[in-house]
Amino acid sequence: MVVKIACIVLLSMGVAAAVEDAVDFQRDVRPILSDKCFFCHGTDPETREADLRLDTPEGAYENLGGYSAVVPGKVKESELFLRITSNKKKEMMPPPESHKTLSPREIETLKKWIEQGAEYQEHWAYEPIKKADAPAGKEIDHFVTRKWDEAGIQGSKPASREVLLRRLSWDLRGIPPSTQEREEFLNDKSPDAWGSLVDRFLADPKYGERMAVWWLDLVRYADTIGYHSDNEMKVTPYRDYVVNAFNKNKPFTDFTIEQLAGDLLPDATLEQKVASGYNRLLQTTEEGGAQEKEYRAIYAADRVRNISEVWLGSTLGCAQCHDHKYDPFTARDFYSMAAFFSDIRENGIGKRRPNLLVPSPAEESRIAELKKAIEDGQVEKLLKGDPAFRAKISTGMKAWLAEAELGHSVWRPVTFGDFKTPEGTTLKVLDDGTVLEGGKIAATASYLLKVTSPGKVSAIKLDALTHESFPVKNGFSRGNGNFVLTEIEIKKDGKKLKIVSVRADVEQDGFPASAAFDGNQKTGWAVGAHMPEGLKGTRRAAFILEKPIELKGNEALDVTLHYQSQHVSHSIARFALSVTAADHAGLEDPLGPSADVIEAFAASKRTPKQNDLLKNYYLSIAPEIVAQKEKRSSMEDELKKIEGGMRKMLVSEALDQPRMTRILPRGNWMDDSGEAVQPAVPKFLQKEMWKVEGRANRLDLAKWILHEDNPLTARSTMNRVWRLFFGRGLSPNVTDLGGQGEMPTHPRLLDWLASDFRDGGWDLKRMVKKIVSSQTYLQRSEVNSFLREKDSANNLLARQGRWRVEAEFVRDGALEIAGLLNDEKMGGSSVKPYQPAGFWQHLNFPKKTWKASEGGDLYRRSVYTFWCRTFPHPSMVAFDAPSREECTAERPRSNIPQQALAMLNDPIFVEAARVFGTRMAEYQGTVPEKMAWGLTEAFSREGTREELDLLMKVYQSQLKKFESDPDAATAFLSTGKWPLKTSVPAHEAAAWGQVGRVILNAYETTSRF
């Protein structure tokens, strides 16, 4: 292909179609050999024919029995030449069945190469990076203009300032500039206006969001697992890590190490762990009947493909079944690379559970705050460490003790009416007003008690009491002494009264009193026959009602006590019931003091024990302490809630014993005959860079990737970064720099960028600034007839590129122009814009429906859109968003009718148009002025008379239409959730909305040039 390009260039430059006199192996010869010969005479021994290899000089020059394929300097003695010029079917090369042919020009090139000595060179991408000299600060332009001089052409003039502003805004932020930004920049007369604009945009958080789109395509980031059910996987914090890394300008070295091996770093931070989510982004399956072994092989291959494409610009993935046909990668290299990831803890099949909680910065600081406040707010701690608090309590206690009597009990006993009991069991009211169980001991029981007690009732208290007749001393039941109250129900007039809380003095582990009103008969309140303190003391529980009620005269409450536990004969065999009118606030001590406290309080002379008793009792009711406890408990609730709602994600976690990795012969996962391999980087690239003792891990891999002598990482990365700003890579194949890739148009420039990136601290913003500050970047993008003729493919970079922006930015741009873009919020869980109903109908296990987000989340930047691999958002797909199943280094830029349908009819674009329309309507000025403003908002330039006339016609005709059809206006304006402004009459707003649609649909709105 390189030859072809060269050919086009030569032809177009008016040079005769003859092969250049001096043939360059790298540029001219290798591409021919690679494409036409290496399949059978290359690196892969399995497909090698006639035991001849042409990818090495040794192979080409080898004596094949009196003759050689290539004899340097001697065309006629070179078998290769005889074969490629032969007409005989049996002799000719490439053979007819390969369907490959050599053009006369290619034959001529090979001939000259042999004549000139048939020299071999290593493939350019694997050679060390060479930093050529160039005038400081003007390096990029230096390398570019040199090519122009050689070709005898000139570059394009700089574009206008408004074009440059728009170009830079798309390139660095993924949105067009606002009219205000335009005015500011056009009025900035300072000599470094451009430099400061670049700095401003680089510092804009939107830069990270824009760059993330590029990176997330490479690492195939998505929100779903990809195969079969395509269920959700939790990895959104990784996406936010990427956005932040670009914004913080994290050195590419850290960026790489953290993603590949963040979990292996000593004392890995949360951020580093999140970054290691990279290793979990691959496609996985939850399909029933999937075979673990097969999927482990699939996952290993997925990872090797991705890492080699992302960081090395290599297609090592092609060596899964056999040695690579065009590059010196072997199948062993492939499996050795796979072995790096065999330490990752994951199941081969089935659901993957998130293994990291990721608080947002706000959550993180709130959690720290809460934890500290909870810790510091312990009553014991305050009593010990806070003299003021202690003084308050002590004053309060003195005042309390000085009261004439201990506040009378707030509880009033009820009067019992009818009982309903199980057959054979009885209940009897004793003289003291308590109730005693008798008769048969039922296994399970429910007692319905009718009780009266006129007045207000805000809570009901149940006292479990013992009786001398019980088989267990101090017991509360006639069984083992313990009880389980599974439910208490309180009804008035058949209507259940809701209980909201309970205070109990004793609760057995696992049997809290709250379980007595959870609606579940399997759980309940128990008091522990086996508790350390035994059965001594009181057992009381006060159940507090949600709303106090008023009992008049004979009005009764129906109280049902359920004992339906699996623990049989666990009913309270003697009890008392009382009610209170006290408010919730007055129920700090709802149970009231116990008898010994009352006695101690009343004693004229108290024993030390009694003093302690009183002190402890006071500490339980002191208002300051109660308030403090409530404060703590609400903080604990908040903490729990935050921790429960925190994002979770899949990250890397290393196994102590990595799984074994074998070479799979021909990639066959069922074949166990292959040799086991240890982690290692591709052999031919190890050179002096690979010195690892013991088992290498992902950290070693990352370090090798970033080794200053590794030529691939910096070259591949800079080649791709270049594409972001010119629309094409310096080597046009940004996926693969290998043998079947393409020779860079500007090898010295690519090497200079790569070395400068590497030597300048792998600082991406620095490189971006250098690129966008070059004269090369500032050129106009129009193709004049001169350039069309001389260099139609723009191989000489004599003009800027022009293209339709990426899917995300098509939508972001429309929202920005409409004033709808919600750019306040960054990161967080993925959001769901509108999507046609039923679009997910083919997903199953479980069935899924897309529920659009609400409020501001409908208008977030598209980088945050939920990415479903099997069904990515259809209007993004229309604009070439990839499925993110595999690495995408270069999105296609198609131009298809689905794009027109989406832009015209997808509700988000219709909504954006109507909101944009209303903005135009509200702009202060005449109708033409409003229109002119709108056009500038979208195009970043002033509209022409012709354009404005055209829009005016649409406006007037639509205005008439909607005036005569108000229902249509209402319907049109009802698209989307954004509130409609009533300040503009409906028919006007609708007509402006149609103008908005015209402007948003214009090609210029979505184009970068």
Partner 1 sequence: MIDTTNRRTFLNQATVGIGALAFQRQLFAEGIPDEIKMAGNPKAKRVIFLCMAGGPSHLETLDYKPTLAKMHGQAMPESITKGQPIAQLQGKALKCLGPQWDFIKQGKSGQEISSQLPFIGKMADDIAIIRSMTTKQINHDPAHTFMNSGTQISGRPCMGSWIQYGLGSETKDLPGFVVLTSVGGGQSQPIASRQWHSGFLPSKYQGVHFHSKGDPVLYVGNPKGVGRAGQRQVIDAVNGLNSIRNGLVDDPEIATKISQYEMAFRMQASVPELVDLKGESKETLEMYGAKPGDGSFASNCLLARRLAERGVRFIQLYHRGWDHHGGVKNGVAGTAKLVDRASWALVQDLKQRGMLDDTLVIWGGEFGRTPMSQGGGKNPGRDHHIKGFSLWMAGGGIKGGVTHGATDDFGYNAVEDVVTVHDLHATMLHQLGIDHQKFTYKFQGLDMRLTGVEPGVKVVKNILA
The DSSP output letter for 511 is B
Tell me the window of 221-229, 446-454, 482-490, 596-604 that interacts with partner 1 (CB under 8 A): 221-229
Q: Does 661 bind partner 1 (CB under 8 A)?
A: no
**Pick from 139, 141, 217, 736: which binds partner 1 (CB under 8 A)?**
736
Closer residue to partner 1 in complex, CB, 229/249: 229
Tell me if 305 sits within 8 A of 887, measured CB to CB.
Answer: yes
Tell which one of 151, 318, 650, 984 touches partner 1 (CB under 8 A). Answer: 318
- Among 351, 522, 530, 893, the residue binding partner 1 under the rule CB under 8 A is 893
CB of 563 to partner 1, least distance (A): 42
Residue showing tokens 């350039």: 787
Q: Which of 210, 19, 382 is nearest to 823 (CA)?
A: 210
Q: Which single residue is written with the structure tokens 């080699």? A: 308
Q: Decide: residue 114, CB within 10 A, 0-12 exposed, 13-18 middle, 19+ buried.
A: buried
**94 cis-preceded (ω within 30 degrees of 0):** yes
Q: Verify binding: residue 950, partner 1, rule CB under 8 A.
A: yes
Q: Is the peptide bond before 191 cis (omega within 30 degrees of 0)?
A: no
Exposure letters 710-729 (e unless 16+ CB within 10 A, then b)? bbbbbbbbbbbbbbbbbbbb
Whole-number minimum distance, CB 970 to partner 1, in Å?
7
Q: Residue 287 CB, nearest distance to partner 1 (Å)?
A: 5
Structure-token match 């070395």, residue found: 755
**Stretch in the footprint of partner 1 (CB under 8 A) among 206-214, 422-430, 619-627, 903-911:** 903-911
Strands 455-464, 574-580: pairing kind: antiparallel
Query: Which range, of 82-90, 224-232, 513-521, 823-831, touches partner 1 by CB under 8 A?
Result: 224-232
Full 3-state SS string of 591-660: CCCCHHHHHHHHCCCCCHHHHHHHHHHHHHHCHHHHHHHHHHHHHHHHHHHHHHHCEEECCCCECCCCCC
For residues 818 and 996, is the Cβ–Cβ distance under 8 A?
yes
Q: What is the CA radius of gyration of the chain?
A: 40
Contact between residue 35 and residue 100 where contact means Cβ atoms under 8 Å apart: yes
445 vs 995, beta carbon nearer partner 1: 995
Query: Total binding residues for partner 1 by CB under 8 A?
Result: 108
The one among 277, 524, 658, 738 contacting partner 1 by CB under 8 A: 738
Q: Is 958 in the site for partner 1 (CB under 8 A)?
A: yes
Which residue number, 225 or 356, has a Cβ lying nearer to partner 1? 225
Least CB distance to partner 1 at residue 89 (A): 17
Q: CA-to-CA distance for 599 and 110, rounded, in angstroms?
A: 114
- Shorter beta-carbon distance to partner 1: residue 288 or 760: 288
> If you ran DSSP here, which 8-state letter would residue 78 be given?
B
Are 285 and 349 in contact by the 8 Å Cβ rule? The answer is yes
> Which of 155, 590, 658, 739 touches partner 1 by CB under 8 A?
739
3-class DSSP assignment, residue 558: strand
* Shortest separation between residue 107's beta carbon and partner 1, angstroms: 17
Asked if 579 and 587 count as a contact pair (C-beta separation under 8 A), the reply is no
Looking at residue 847, its amino acid is: K
Tell whether residue 230 is a contact of partner 1 (CB under 8 A): yes
Q: How far is the CB of 113 from partner 1 (least distance, A)?
A: 20
Determine, following the binding rule CB under 8 A, whether residue 744 of this chain makes contact with partner 1: no
Distance CA 854, CA 394 (A): 53
11 binds partner 1 (CB under 8 A): no
Stretch that binds partner 1, among 257-265, 416-424, 831-839, 918-926 (CB under 8 A): 831-839
The least distance separating partner 1 from the CB of residue 843, rounded to whole angstroms, comes to: 5
Output the smallest distance, CB 138 to partner 1, in A. 29
Site residues for partner 1, 786-805, by CB under 8 A, read 793, 802-804
Q: Under a CB-based contact definition with an 8 Å cutoff, are residues 129 and 754 in contact? A: yes
Which string of x and - marks every residue 26-65 that binds partner 1 (by CB under 8 A)? --------xx------------------------------
Least CB distance to partner 1 at residue 341 (A): 18
Which CB, 82 or 290, lies closer to partner 1? Answer: 290
Nearer to partner 1, 464 or 908 (CB): 908
Instruction: Check: CB of residue 612 under 8 Å from CB of residue 491.
Output: no
Interface with partner 1 (CB under 8 A), residue from 172, 815, 994, 1008: 994
C-beta of 997: minimal distance to partner 1 in Å? 5
383-415 in b/e burial notation, b at 16+ Cβ within 10 A?
Answer: eeeeeebeebbeebbeebeeeeebeeebbebbe
Q: Considering only residues 673 through 732, tell me which ones interact with partner 1, judged by CB under 8 A.
A: 728, 732
Give dist(CA 181, CA 967) in Å, integer.
Answer: 39
Kindly state the smallest distance separating residue 236's Cβ from partner 1, in Å.
22
Minimum Å distance from CB 877 to partner 1? 8
Give me the least distance between CB of 320 and partner 1, in Å please.
Answer: 9
d(CA 523, CA 162): 72
| Residue numbers 59-118 binding partner 1 by CB under 8 A | 97, 99
Using the contact rule CB under 8 A, the part of the chain among 170-178, 379-387, 701-709, 863-871 near partner 1 is 863-871
Nearest approach, Cβ of 676 to partner 1 (angstroms)? 20
Cβ at position 962, least distance to partner 1 in Å: 8
State how far the Cα of 813 lies from the Cα of 806, in Å rounded to an integer.
Answer: 10
The crossing angle, in degrees rounded to 10, of helices 205-218 and 161-173 is 60
Return the structure tokens found at 713. 């990482």
Q: Which stretch binds partner 1 (CB under 8 A): 384-392, 683-691, 748-756, 972-980?
A: 972-980
Q: How many helices (H) and strands (E) does the chain have?
A: 36, 20
Tokens standing for residue 283: 């496609």
Dig out the tokens for 847 from the structure. 């069935």
* 977 near partner 1, judged by CB under 8 A: no
Binding mask 464-503 for partner 1 (x = CB under 8 A): ----------------------------------------
* Residue 29 and residue 4 in contact, taking contact as beta carbons nearer than 8 Å: no
Least CB distance to partner 1 at residue 671 (A): 10
From candidates 78, 580, 875, 918, binder to partner 1 by CB under 8 A: 875
Contact positions with partner 1 (CB under 8 A) in 285-304: 285, 287-291, 294, 298
**What whole-number distance in Å separates Cα of residue 87 and Cα of residue 390?**
107
Decide whether 566 or 944 has the Cβ nearer to partner 1: 944
455-464 and 539-551 strand pairing: antiparallel
CB of 915 to partner 1, least distance (A): 13
Q: In this chain, which of 872, 912, 916, 927 binds partner 1, going by CB under 8 A?
A: 872
Min separation Cβ 888 and partner 1, Å: 8
Query: Distance between CA atoms of 353 and 347, rounded to whole angstroms?
Result: 9
Q: Of 79 and 782, which has the nearer Cβ to partner 1? A: 782
Of 187-195, 354-362, 625-633, 941-949, the segment contacting partner 1 by CB under 8 A is: 941-949
Nearer to partner 1, 512 or 727 (CB): 727
User: According to the binding rule CB under 8 A, does residue 964 interact with partner 1?
Assistant: no
Q: Does 733 bind partner 1 (CB under 8 A)?
A: yes
Task: Indicate the residue among 186 and 793 with the shorter CB distance to partner 1.
Answer: 793
CA distances from 128 to 122, 718, 751, 908, 978 (A): 10, 15, 9, 50, 56
DSSP 370-429: HHHHHHHT-HHHHHHH-HHHHHHHHHHHHHHHHSSS----SEEE-EEEEEE--TTEEEEE
Q: Does 4 bind partner 1 (CB under 8 A)?
A: yes
